[in-house]
């Protein structure tokens, strides 16, 4: 083979580093996309967010020594998602859940009769303010512990606990399943 063998070695080293990163992050891509999609509300944005998060995470990867890849990477995805949201014209995400429900013509309870439970649940979750929505997504869909959610969101565990409580009460209320639950 002709050319510069040193360059060849350096390229292999870089490729090796990327490969190590990919092996660490590949199992997290579904979770990353799910979180990004729930936070941004758009497929196109979610894809951009995951791509950006991977590029950024690779940059920090050398500084990442051991520990859990999942919360580390999810925190980067979350940051990128909020950055992406900040770039958008500020309209809908400023509405909190209640305002959104009002904007859509009030109670989702009535929709329950027209739509199946699945759609209503998705809508109710979409209608939550981002800090409540991400708490539910990280806990119920990603199965993270409170400690991990705290690591991803940067909020203390007590805050994680109260956000989850509040989020669940809002969901129950919107799904019309509020019997026995005070809000």
Partner 1 sequence: MRCEEASELLGALADGELEPARRAAAEAHLSACAACAGRLRALRGLSSAVRAEAPYHRAPADLRARVERALRGSRGPALSSWRARVAPGLAGAAVGFACALFALRAAPPASPPLDEAVSEHIRAMLSDRLVTVESSDHHTVKPWFSRHVDFSPPVPDLAASGFPLKGGRVEPYGGRPAAVSVYARGRHVIDVFTWPEPGADTSPSLAVEQRGYHVLSWRTGSFGYRAVSDLNARELTEFAERLSRAAASNP
Positions touching partner 1 (CB under 8 A) are 1-4, 7-8, 10-12, 14-16, 18-19, 21-23, 26-27, 29-30, 32-34, 37-38, 43, 46-47, 50-51, 54-55, 58-59, 117-118, 121-122, 125, 136, 139-143, 145-146, 161-162, 164-165, 168, 171-172, 175, 177-182
Q: H helices within the chain, ranges in order?
A: 5-25, 29-40, 43-60, 69-87, 97-103, 109-114, 117-126, 130-136, 146-153, 157-174
Report the nearest approach of partner 1 to the CB of residue 64 (Å): 15
The residue assigned the tokens 């809908």 is 92
Q: Which is nearer to partner 1, 63 or 90 (CB)?
A: 63
Closest distance between partner 1 and the C-beta of residue 100, in Å?
17
Residue 52's CB is within 10 A of a number of other CB atoms, namely 18
CB of 108 to partner 1, least distance (A): 14
Angle at 66 between CA 62 and CA 67, to 5 degrees: 125
């Amino acid at each position: 083979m002709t050319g510069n063998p040193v360059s060849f070695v350096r390229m292999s080293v870089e490729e090796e580093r990327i490969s190590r990163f990919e092996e660490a992050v590949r199992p997290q891509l579904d979770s990353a996309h799910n979180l990004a999609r729930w936070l941004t509300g758009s497929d196109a944005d979610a894809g951009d967010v995951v791509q950006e998060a991977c590029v950024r995470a690779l940059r920090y990867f050398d500084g990442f020594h051991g520990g859990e890849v999942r919360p580390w990477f999810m925190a980067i995805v979350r940051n990128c998602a909020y950055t992406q949201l900040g770039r958008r014209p500020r309209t809908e995400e400023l509405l909190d859940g209640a305002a959104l429900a009002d904007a859509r013509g009030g109670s989702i309870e009535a929709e329950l009769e027209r739509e199946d439970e699945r759609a209503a649940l998705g809508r109710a979750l979409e209608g939550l303010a981002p800090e409540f929505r991400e708490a539910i997504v990280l806990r119920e869909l990603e199965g993270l512990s409170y400690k991990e959610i705290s690591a991803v969101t940067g909020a203390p565990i007590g805050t994680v606990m109260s956000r989850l409580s509040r989020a669940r009460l809002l969901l129950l209320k919107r799904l019309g399943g509020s019997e026995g639950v005070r809000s």
